[in-house]
Amino acid sequence: MSEAVISSTSPTQQTAEISRIFQLQQQHHFAVAATSARQRIAKLRKLHDVMLQYREEITEAVWNDLRKSRTEVNISELGVVNGEIRHAIRNLRSWMAPKRVGTPLVLFGTSSEIRYEPKGVCLVLAPWNFPFNLTLSPIVSAVAAGNCVMVKPSEYAPYSAAVMKKIIAECFPPEEVALFEGDATVAQDP
């Protein structure tokens, strides 16, 4: 196992860091929720571009973790996530627009609409079998919706987790998206 995969922080330090980042995201989520479609699209494009920059490392990491071939990684991992990004970019403006709906008769003289709002801070607990697809696809949706995200990839795909940590750190500040490596106890922290 490479040094990038082995964590040098103690469980107490990691718990403190998770709590610190969670509080930071709770304080920052209103600013993220207020972002425009253009800003969210820019974040998604950056994620797309950085993923392509790391394509070789991603392929190697998934090979080391799961013995998936380059073709399988391109189709079932990167292809799916890139498809999610393209779909979100194409539809984001319409998703963010208020939808006019009928007004009940008792509210005569008013108008009604549905406004979709971000939830705040989301948690992504990812499985091991499709490490990039099942970790990054939910991040794409959460970022498109204007949420902050805490991410815990599977400890059974440590090489993939290490590459995703680099990608996330390059694309997002920790007050928006943060990834924490480790075993199941990381997800159990209060």
pLDDT digits (tens, 9 = 90+) for 69-103: 999 999 999 999 999 999 999 999 999 999 999 99
Q: What integer is the mean pLDDT of 141-152?
A: 96
Q: What integer is the mean pLDDT of 154-179?
A: 96
Banded model confidence at residue 189, pLDDT cuts 50, 70, 90: low
- The amino acid present at 34, given as its one-letter code, is A
Q: What CA–CA distances, in Å, run from 141 to 47, 69, 90, 154, 187?
A: 12, 27, 13, 19, 21
pLDDT above 80: residue 117: yes
Which CATH superfamily does the domain covering 36-188 fall into?
Aldehyde Dehydrogenase; Chain A, domain 1 (3.40.605.10)
Output the pLDDT for position 182: 81
pLDDT above 60: residue 120: yes
Output the pLDDT for position 2: 38
96 phi/psi in degrees, rounded to 5:
-80, -20
pLDDT above 70: residue 190: no
Q: What integer is the mean pLDDT of 111-138?
A: 93
pLDDT above 80: residue 132: yes
Q: What CA–CA distances, in Å, run from 148 to 72, 125, 139?
A: 30, 14, 9
Q: What CA–CA distances, in Å, run from 146 to 44, 48, 74, 176?
A: 11, 17, 27, 9
pLDDT above 50: residue 5: no
Identify the sign of the CA torsion 42, 44, 48, 50: positive
CA–CA separation, 91 vs 144, rounded Å? 10
pLDDT above 60: residue 4: no
pTM of this prediction? 0.86
The overall average pLDDT reported for the chain is 91
Share of the chain above pLDDT 90, in %: 78
Q: What integer is the mean pLDDT of 115-129?
A: 92
Express each pLDDT in 19-62 by its tens digit: 999 999 999 999 999 999 999 999 999 999 999 999 999 999 99
